[in-house]
């Protein structure tokens, strides 16, 4: 066990197991047996952290501290012990990393240039200091794993890049050119190191973004603030965050005002003002001010941690172009052998024949593409767009049609009830109360607006109705006092349910003309009332549409379940020329299918349950962060901010990534063709050829990793 922190009256410690608690209690009892002292023990088996509290006396603190230190010195703490359940059955003890190493220290990565410099330095220093007679044996020993891998591939009937690498090294050894064999091995090692570094860099950056640091968190406890370990923060804690500190939890501001830098979450370049009731997210930073946050998501339940898991899990979803690159690299290998054999038949020169094997196209193609894709995914995450797999980067880069749901996408997703029109003898209170009673079962912005309105007016209700049924893209229904009660669009209430809405025709026309959205409540086959809602457009919506147009998107289509009047008002304001009102889920998927059949690469942007089918059918499904669970699950790209620009950023990043892949391919083909030509004509030696080829591979990998190397 170790002491984490001590102040008069409080000692925080770490222990590898709950089993040490009885020993600690006995030791402390022995230390203070002649004193009338009460010591409170608290130990969290999940985090392995404990707390001792007692009277805040300096002398007593020293006595207890010495006793704990003495016990800690006598205990052997393993570096990492497996989690297990203690005898009590409700305690779980897990080992901790050494206290001297924080999460940031563990995940800190060296510069790739330092890693490469160390490898090169070690390679040449070993060659310089090693006796000349030993160098050939050392070269053979070093390259043996590559040779064996090539042999294993051959035994499996595969003629791939591993076979080609083994042949290049083997031919160098056959010509007794041990320096060339060693150089090939070094440069292949550097290329693979760059790929490994990129993967670890991605994970480390995600950890830094989403897990935060290991600094103590200040929370309100009893009469004042107390610093605790981040792992001990629980939902409901009041967390204090001051200027310059990162926010460790998801939650709502309960007190104070601050300017919060959310660039790591949303990509916004400027700090955002956060006041009472504002949402804040783990991983963002307070630039100015001080706030107290009511924590709602902690640890692995923060939005950032969930995003990190998505990206980590999606690493296996390779881009199609990645698979094509691997297949192309392997297909090139037999031709390299054929060309080498042809050169030997013509020239009868083993040296020139080996040159073809020493400078192949496969290695760089196979390494550079996944590096580019991985870098693009991380860059997009920094800009507020989580791309769930490399294969979607290609589709994003090719987009030429975007279909946009209106509510929650182009609008702020926080509609407000602006008016209620009761009819047929029903009261305003009845309409609002029962609409809220039905809508509270569904996490949708419109539902939340109605529930907020009812709560604001103090309308509490009893669950007198039957089970509420959601009818996809239409509305909801239930039974109240033996009568069927429905709530939804005009299409649902009037056309499907056959309820006459003429009694509110004047009101409906007036609301429709002003662009308001309407919900209809019917009870027992009669219209009970109409609820008018307004959902303001996002401030960035107009700019977003113009950016799509400037990016060459040929078709921009708006879909909405609202009436034609509302849809037309929004479309005119945003200057969208193609829109569809009262769109049902099957109509949305039909539109997606039609656009794809016309040759378009289509993105569908939506956030509701009724958008999930279209999200799945589109080439790229995009969901907003506040979307329904099924929409967030069905999407290929999740926008983690309120910025529509994050989607535009993901398109731009994807296009840049694909351009890098194409440029890499051109460079690889051109440079290696040139090198092979030089080798075949005898202008350069095999050793120089291997150096030039593998150096080009390293440069290509570095170009692929450019967003990471530039710190973006």
Catalytic residue list? 405
Q: List b or e across 478-499, with b for residues whose CB sees 16 or more CB atoms inside 10 angstroms.
A: beeeeeebbbbbbbbbbeebeb
Q: What is the DSSP letter of 539?
A: T
Distance CA 490, CA 428 (A): 19
SS3 state of residue 540: coil
- On whether the CB atoms of residues 23 and 68 are closer than 8 A, the answer is no
CB-based burial of residue 344 (10 Å sphere; 0-12 exposed, 13-18 middle, 19+ buried)?
A: middle
- 285-297 and 224-228 as β-strands: parallel, antiparallel, unpaired? unpaired
Buried b (16+ CB within 10 A) or exposed e, 628-639: bebbbebbbbbb
Nearest to 317 by CA among 690, 644, 637, 674: 637
Sequence-separated (6 or more) residues with CB below 8 Å from residue 216: 5, 227, 228, 229, 230
Exposed, middle or buried by CB within 10 Å (0-12, 13-18, 19+), for 76?
Answer: exposed
Closest CA to 680 of 361, 330, 363, 358: 358
The full DSSP string for 209-224 is: HHT-----EEEEETTE
Greatest alpha-carbon span in the chain: 105
Q: CA torsion 555→556→560→565, rounded to 10°?
A: -100
**Strands in 474-613 per DSSP E:** 475-480, 483-488, 517-523, 526-534, 555-559, 578-580, 602-606
Q: Cβ contacts of residue 499 below 8 Å, gap of 6+? A: 486, 493, 520, 522, 525, 526, 527
- Give the chain's radius of gyration (CA, Å): 33
Per DSSP, helices labelled H in 348-464 are: 350-358, 362-382, 391-398, 428-439, 445-456
The total of other beta-carbon atoms located within 10 Å of residue 525's CB is 12
Asked if 654 contacts 376 with a C-beta cutoff of 8 angstroms, the reply is: yes
For 331, residues 6+ apart whose C-beta sits below 8 A from its C-beta are: none
- Alpha-carbon distances of 170 from 116, 139, 156, 158, 178, rounded to whole Å: 24, 11, 19, 17, 10
Measured between alpha carbons, how far is 256 from 289 in angstroms, rounded to an integer? 8
If we measure between CA atoms, which residue out of 661, 711, 709, 699 comes closest to residue 390?
661
d(CA 512, CA 566): 6
Cα–Cα nearest to 383, from 299, 216, 268 = 268
In whole angstroms, what is the distance from residue 656 CA to residue 704 CA?
Answer: 11
Query: Of the candidates 695, 594, 687, 640, which has an alpha carbon nearest to the alpha carbon of residue 282?
Result: 640
- Local structure of residue 267 (DSSP, 8 states): -
H-assigned helices in 444-554: 445-456, 490, 505-513, 541-550
| Beta strand spans in 573-705 (E) | 578-580, 602-606, 620-624, 637-639
Distance (Å) of CA 582 to CA 390, 446, 517, 532: 35, 16, 11, 16
| 239, containing H or E segment | strand 238-242
| DSSP bridge partners of 297 | 250
């Amino acid at each position: 066990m170790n002491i984490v922190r001590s102040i008069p009256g409080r000692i925080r410690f770490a222990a590898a197991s709950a089993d040490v608690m009885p020993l600690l209690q006995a030791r402390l009892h022995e230390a203070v047996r002649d004193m009338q002292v009460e010591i409170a023990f608290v130990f969290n088996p999940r985090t392995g952290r404990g707390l001792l509290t007692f009277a805040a006396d300096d002398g007593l603190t020293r006595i207890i501290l010495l006793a704990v230190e003495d016990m800690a010195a006598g205990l052997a703490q393993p570096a990492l012990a497996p989690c297990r359940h203690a005898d009590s059955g409700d305690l779980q003890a897990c080992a901790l990393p050494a206290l001297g190493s924080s999460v940031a220290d563990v995940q800190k990565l060296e510069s790739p240039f330092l890693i490469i410099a160390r490898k090169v330095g070690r390679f040449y220093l070993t060659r310089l200091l090693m006796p000349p007679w030993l160098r050939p044996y050392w070269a053979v020993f070093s390259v043996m794993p590559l040779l064996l891998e090539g042999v294993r591939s051959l035994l499996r009937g595969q003629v791939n890049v591993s076979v080609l690498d083994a042949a290049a090294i083997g031919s160098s050894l056959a010509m007794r050119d041990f320096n060339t064999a060693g150089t090939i091995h070094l440069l292949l090692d550097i290329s693979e190191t760059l790929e490994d570094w990129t993967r670890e860099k991605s994970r480390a950056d995600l950890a830094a973004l989403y897990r935060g640091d290991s600094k103590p968190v200040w929370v309100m406890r009893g009469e004042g603030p107390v610093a605790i370990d981040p792992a001990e923060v629980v939902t409901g804690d009041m967390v204090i965050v001051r200027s310059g500190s990162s926010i460790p939890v998801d939650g709502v501001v309960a007190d104070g005002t601050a300017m919060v830098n959310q660039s790591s979450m949303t990509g916004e370049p400027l700090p955002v003002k956060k006041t009472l009731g504002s949402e804040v997210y783990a991983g963002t930073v307070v630039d100015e001010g001080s706030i107290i946050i009511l924590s709602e998501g902690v640890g692995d339940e923060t939005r950032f941690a969930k995003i990190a898991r998505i990206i980590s899990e999606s690493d296996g979803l390779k881009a199609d172009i990645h698979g094509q690159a691997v297949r192309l690299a392997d297909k090139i290998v037999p031709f390299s052998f054929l060309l080498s054999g042809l050169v030997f038949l013509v020239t009868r020169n083993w040296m020139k024949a080996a040159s073809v094997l020493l400078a192949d196209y496969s290695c760089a193609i196979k390494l550079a593409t996944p590096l580019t894709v991985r870098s693009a995914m991380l860059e997009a995450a920094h800009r507020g767009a989580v791309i769930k797999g490399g294969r979607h980067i290609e589709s994003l880069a090719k987009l030429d049609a975007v279909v946009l749901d209106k509510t929650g996408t182009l609008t702020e997703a926080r509609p407000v009830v602006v008016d209620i029109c009761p009819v047929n003898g029903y009261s305003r209170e009845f309409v609002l109360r029962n609409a809220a009673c039905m809508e509270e079962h569904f996490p949708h912005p419109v539902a939340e607006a109605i529930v907020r309105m009812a709560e604001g007016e103090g309308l509490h209700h009893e669950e007198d109705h039957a089970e509420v049924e959601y009818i996809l893209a239409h509305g909801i229904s239930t039974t109240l006092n033996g009568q069927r009660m429905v709530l939804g669009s005009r299409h649902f209430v009037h056309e499907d349910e056959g309820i006459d809405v003429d009694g509110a025709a004047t009101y409906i026309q007036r609301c429709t003309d002003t662009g308001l959205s309407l919900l209809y409540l019917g009870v027992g086959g009669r219209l009970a009332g109409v609820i008018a809602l307004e959902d303001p457009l996002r401030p960035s919506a107009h700019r977003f549409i113009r950016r799509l147009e400037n990016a060459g998107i040929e078709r921009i289509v708006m879909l909405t379940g609202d009436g034609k009047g509302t849809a037309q008002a929004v479309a005119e304001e945003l200057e969208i020329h193609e829109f569809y009102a009262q769109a049902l889920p099957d109509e949305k998927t039909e539109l997606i299918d039609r656009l794809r059949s016309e040759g378009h690469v289509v993105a569908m942007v939506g956030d509701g349950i009724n958008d999930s089918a279209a999200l799945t059918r589109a080439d790229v499904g995009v969901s907003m962060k506040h979307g329904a669970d099924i929409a967030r699950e069905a999407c290929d790209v999740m926008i983690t901010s309120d910025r529509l620009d994050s989607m535009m950023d993901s398109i731009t990043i994807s296009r840049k990534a694909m351009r890098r892949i194409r440029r890499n391919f051109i460079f690889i083909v051109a440079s290696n063709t040139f090198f092979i030509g030089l080798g075949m004509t005898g202008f350069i030696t095999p050793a120089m050829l291997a150096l030039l080829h593998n150096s080009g591979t390293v440069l290509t990998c570095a170009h692929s990793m450019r967003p990471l190397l530039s710190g973006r």
